[in-house]
Chains A and B, each alone.
Chain A
Amino acid sequence: MISFKQVSKSYGKTPAVRDLTFEIRRGEFLFLMGASGAGKSTILRLLHHSIRPTSGVVTVGEFSSDTIKERQIPHLRRKLGFVLQDFRLIADRSVSENVAIAMRITGESRRKIEARVNEVLGQVGLIGRAREKAGNLSGGEMQRVAIARALVNRPLALIADEPTGNLDPETAQGIYSILDRAHIGGTAVFVATHDRDFVDRAGHKVLHLEHGRIVIPRIAPGTAPRSSKPSSSVSC
């Protein structure tokens, strides 16, 4: 469904990611872990196709980075739902408008947009705040609006970049519960995070990234491995 095949990306002579091969399968929940500068953002930007790989192929549904035309990129982006650390909302618009915009650009009818926006706002627990300006919400609520916007077009996968990075632990837990529910509902979820505790508790597959490469985590002698199952869909 979504795959990286021997993908490398360099900025000038500096390599950001090297020889990445992995898949995000339908309905899968996959974590991407790594220190700052390990290459997590590059992977997300490659998925968004705001950058192209130096070598290798990124595939999203029927689109491949080696054959996709510039004018098709927006259509690829509509197949993914992005959730970012800074929420990326339009502060002076209502919650429902922030969610509806993702659907409106696809040309859906007003009736369908209204019904679907209410549905996803219900899923993230914000139906009562649909008319509130996004700028008046708390950080946790803003992130829930961003998740609703990411889900509104029924994407192949929800791609989240440090979705709890700006939130307190309790609110973060609420966000992960929503991501879990989306996963249970059948949406693939791919989360880049530093939050090792949550990753350990969640028990989903994990990709570890170090200096732009996928690695098997090193475990200190005498300690139990902290990360859960390594992904069967990952080849290192």
Chain B
Amino acid sequence: MLTHIEHTLREFGYGLRRSLKGHLAPVVLLGVALFILGLFLVGTINLQELIHIAHSKVGVAVYLTEEASESDRTLVAEKIPQLAGVKLVRYISPGQALERFQSELGGRAYLLEGVEGNPLPASFEVELYDDYKTTDRIEAIANEIRGVSGVDSVIYGESWVGRLERWIYFLVGFDLFLGAVLGISTLLVVGNTMKLALENRRDAIEVIRLVGGTRMQIRLPFLLEGMLIGLMSSGLAYLVLYKTYTFAVGRLAGVLFLGTTGVIAFFALGALLGASGSLLSINRYLKA
């Protein structure tokens, strides 16, 4: 087994010596493609984080009617926590609502000077579990609350929750589409590079075939070469991506970058694309 590895590594070494210069262009091309993909991935990660933060603030406000009695208020206060998905319920009395409104107005609190009494109704702030912060589920919860006696209106950010969800779907979809387009293009680039490398080493391949080398013994060195192209491209793309990130992080606080798993996946993707492009060419070559 060790000597088979030796054969593979030797052929890999010979191959690199012959073809290394020819690999520079595909490394740069694949690197650019991976950089673009990386940019979108980092963008998606950051947008997802923003969405996550925004999502955590999604809640339901339940306003009671002016005529709502004490027993109505108690009923609502008992009913809401029983609903699935409700994490926390806070009662806001008309007085507390007015105080909050005044503090939100700040310097413009004088606007309330002409208002007689307290026009704000009593309300409940309902906090939900993350799983329930989807448009459908919030709507279902709101409908149940609307049916409770004493409830005037139920307000929640349904439109922007839905919009955020659509953004996530769009971005993930776009990343996948971009990944597929770049993946196919890089397969073609690596495939063509390896085709040249195979032509360049036709003599060695013919000799290995003549003396009884197996298909695997012919394939493996080229497979390693494709993987190396992919890894070098990932390295290049990662370097530029990281530099771009450090440049951006100085201007935008709280920008996220690829985590450890993301970095491993990024390099693995490069290696996989390189190896796949190489394998396509080798198989076509060996069949010919």
Contact residues in B for A48 (Cβ distance below 8 Å): 210
Question: Residue-by-residue, is A101-122 near B (CB-CB < 8 Å gives 1, otherwise 0)?
Answer: 1101111111000000000000
Say yes or no: A110 contacts B3, CB within 8 Å: yes
Q: How many residues of B contact A (CB 8 A)?
A: 20
Contact residues in B for A77 (Cβ distance below 8 Å): 210-212
Whether A71 is near chain B, meaning CB under 8 Å from some CB there, is: yes
Q: Given the interface contacts A104-B6, A110-B3, does A78 sit within 8 Å of B212 by beta carbon?
A: yes
Whether A154 is near chain B, meaning CB under 8 Å from some CB there, is: no
The segment from A21-29, A30-38, A85-93, A186-194 that touches chain B is A85-93
In residues 1-46 of chain B, which contact A (Cβ within 8 Å)? Answer: 1, 3-4, 6-7, 10, 14, 18
Say yes or no: A109 contacts B3, CB within 8 Å: yes
A76: nearest residue on chain B (CB-CB)? B212
Question: Residue-by-residue, is B196-222 near A (CB-CB < 8 Å gives 1, otherwise 0)?
Answer: 000000011011101111110100000
Say yes or no: A74 contacts B14, CB within 8 Å: no
Whether A4 is near chain B, meaning CB under 8 Å from some CB there, is: no
Of residues B7, B207, B211, which shows the largest number of chain A Cβ atoms within 10 Å of its Cβ?
A: B211
Contact residues in B for A149 (Cβ distance below 8 Å): 211
Say yes or no: B208 contacts A82, CB within 8 Å: no
- In Å, the complex CA distance between A104 and B213 comes to 9
Query: Which of B1, B18, B206, B212 is within 8 Å of A105, CB to CB?
Result: B212
Say yes or no: A105 contacts B208, CB within 8 Å: yes
Q: Given the interface contacts A74-B213, A107-B3, A110-B3, does A101 sit within 8 Å of B18 by beta carbon?
A: no
Say yes or no: B7 contacts A105, CB within 8 Å: yes
What's the nearest-Cβ distance from chain B to residue A200, in Å?
Answer: 30
Say yes or no: B208 contacts A88, CB within 8 Å: no
Whether A13 is near chain B, meaning CB under 8 Å from some CB there, is: no
Q: Given the interface contacts A75-B212, A78-B212, A105-B213, does A89 sit within 8 Å of B3 by beta carbon?
A: no
Say yes or no: B7 contacts A104, CB within 8 Å: yes
Say yes or no: A91 contacts B214, CB within 8 Å: no
B205: nearest residue on chain A (CB-CB)? A90
Query: Which of A74, A88, A153 is within 8 Å of B207, CB to CB?
Result: A88
Say yes or no: A101 contacts B3, CB within 8 Å: no
Q: Given the interface contacts A105-B7, A107-B4, A110-B6, does A90 sit within 8 Å of B203 by beta carbon?
A: yes
What's the nearest-Cβ distance from chain B to residue A158, in Å?
Answer: 13
What's the nearest-Cβ distance from chain A to residue B63, in Å?
Answer: 77
- In Å, the complex CA distance between A110 and B2 comes to 10
Q: Given the interface contacts A89-B207, A110-B3, does A104 sit within 8 Å of B212 by beta carbon?
A: no
- In Å, the complex CA distance between A188 and B214 comes to 25
| Extra contacts besides A77-B212, A101-B211 (20): CB < 8 Å | A74-B217, A75-B212, A78-B211, A82-B210, A88-B206, A88-B207, A89-B203, A90-B203, A90-B204, A93-B204, A102-B212, A104-B3, A104-B10, A105-B211, A105-B213, A105-B217, A107-B1, A108-B3, A110-B3, A149-B211
Q: Which residues of A contact B (CB under 8 A)?
A: 48, 71, 74-78, 82, 84, 88-93, 98, 101-102, 104-110, 149, 153
The 30 sampled A-B contact pairs (Cβ below 8 Å) are A74-B212, A74-B213, A74-B217, A76-B212, A77-B211, A78-B212, A82-B210, A82-B211, A88-B206, A88-B207, A90-B203, A93-B14, A93-B204, A101-B207, A102-B212, A104-B3, A104-B7, A104-B10, A105-B208, A105-B213, A105-B214, A105-B217, A106-B212, A107-B1, A107-B4, A109-B3, A110-B3, A110-B6, A149-B211, A153-B211
